[in-house]
Amino acid sequence: MAAHVTRIKGFADMFPPDSDAFTFMEATARRVFGRCGFVELRTPVLEFTDLFRRSIGEETDVVQKEMFTFPDRNDRLMTLRPEATAGVMRAYIEDARHTRESVSRLFTTGPMFRYERPQKGRMRQFHQINCECLGSHSPYADADMIVMLMRFLREIGLTDLSLKINSLGCATCRPVFKKALVDYLSGLAGQGQLCEDCTRRMQTNPLRVLDCKQESCRSLTDKAPHLLDYTCPDCRQHFETVLRLLDAEKVDYTVDHRLVRGLDYYCRTTFEVVSGNIGSQSAVAGGGRYDGLVKSLGGPDVPGVGFACGMERLALLLPQRTAPRPCFYMVGMDDAAREVCFGLTQRLREAGLHGEMHIGEGGFKSSMRQAGKSGARFCLIIGPDELAAGTVVVKNMDSGEQQAMPQSSVVEHLASFPGGGEHE
Ligand code: HAM
């Protein structure tokens, strides 16, 4: 046998029940976000590399190490999207959406690509459910997004999650904080105590030192200055309003001064939702405000706030979904009977009933075994006698009882059983 072509490392195929879990999450997201005025935007998975460099930031791990980037046939650099926000901003600008609506609420879902080391909850192709609210500076927008995110998580059945929140300040107050942080860290680096990555980050992206996972760096930054002590009055008031609105909605949170996020476009509010039950890749959702982003990409000066959920990580937390039980399994005992079975199967499905006809190999015994395996509530059998009489034998697979009835009344008969329809 020829060797088969394998899938790419970090990329997954998804059969049920995994694919069912994804469908369920997407359907719930459409319902919950739709109620809040979100409309669905679908953007391409491939974009010019420049889009991500300019939005996510040259110094981020995503741009430096994790992008799937390659030249196309005309030598233009292309990248498989590592996240959705940048593409949504590009689409928003190209569509001149701000000229038609003062606030845009855009929902996107699909595959993202990051060249990371695969492990539990971390894939090279993964899927996000992403929401962006563009056009409002108001802290009400931030709070509305967070409340909506938590509602979505609750509606898919997840309640044992923690929300972490922080403010990254703005162009006025963040530089003051950065300087205080670098001054503090320089003292430490002088003693050679920060890890190699953090020593580099100190020059390029000092805030990231705060979320280094290395225990040694963490204990060193325990006493580092807190951004919240440096925020300007406007940023402070914005943050306090967001927290007050969350309190009013009884959304629990922890203010976490280490929450700086891995993408450069954030300002003011940032947040993450984490789970204690899926190992080290614990963030199931993350987001924040990004007021300068649209402008920096050549668009109008429109503020925004958004988040993305990681679907693979959410799926790890969802209970296993059970497939809906089929209503019928149709068995024809010879070719002539099978032709009648074929038509009857179509009529049952048109009536909304869920089932299949035996099309596999083997004799009557093996088709009855398949009927049992299918989990169907009823097995419908047509042999030469039934064919001649225009009847069908209906066998209740739970009780074993069977009765013959006219083919013309089987649709009505099965539909009358509670739960006989498509979904139980
Ligand atoms: P992010 O924190 O980079 O934010 O990703 C959001 C979520 O995607 C993470 O919390 C995680 O659940 C999931 N995720 C990220 N990388 C992987 C991976 N390699 N494998 C599996 N899941 C992963 C963003 O992407 C921002 N664009 C969110 C946002 C939207 N901010 C504003 N608007």
- Dump pLDDT digits (tens) for 384-412: 999 999 999 999 999 999 999 999 999 99
pLDDT for residue 189: 57
Nearest residue (by CA) to ligand 1, atom 14, is: 310
Task: Give CA 405 to chain center in angstroms.
Answer: 48
pLDDT for residue 98: 97
In this prediction, what percent of the chain has a pLDDT beyond 70?
A: 97
Q: Which of 52, 112, 128 has most ligand 1 atoms within 8 Å of CB, for mutation?
A: 128
- pLDDT tens digits for 372-388? 999 999 999 999 999 99
Dist. CA 16 → ligand 1 center (Å) = 24
Q: Which of 162, 109, 143 is nearest to 283 (CA)?
A: 162
Atom number in ligand 1 closest to CA 123 = 20
- CB of 291 within 6 A of ligand 1: the answer is no
What type of residue sits at position 1? M
- What mean pLDDT is predicted for residues 131-151? 98
Cβ neighbours, 10 Å, residue 194: 23
- pLDDT tens digits for 281-334? 999 999 999 999 999 999 999 999 999 999 999 999 998 878 889 999 999 999
**238 touches 165 (CB < 8 A):** no
Query: Given a cut of 70, is residue 192 above it in pLDDT?
Result: no
- What mean pLDDT is predicted for residues 348-352? 95
pLDDT band at 191 (very low <50, low <70, confident <90, very high): low
- CB of 332 within 6 A of ligand 1: the answer is no
Q: Which of 165, 306, 303 is nearest to 247 (CA)?
A: 165
- CB of 79 within 6 A of ligand 1: the answer is no
- What mean pLDDT is predicted for residues 124-145? 98
pLDDT for residue 223: 86
- CB of 286 within 6 A of ligand 1: the answer is yes
Phi, psi torsion values for 124, nearest 5 degrees: -85, -35
Dist. CA 272 → ligand 1 center (Å) = 10
- pLDDT tens digits for 255-284? 999 999 989 999 999 999 999 999 999 999
pLDDT for residue 420: 56
Dist. CA 120 → ligand 1 center (Å) = 15
Q: Which residue has the tokens 């703005």?
A: 170
- CB of 129 within 6 A of ligand 1: the answer is no
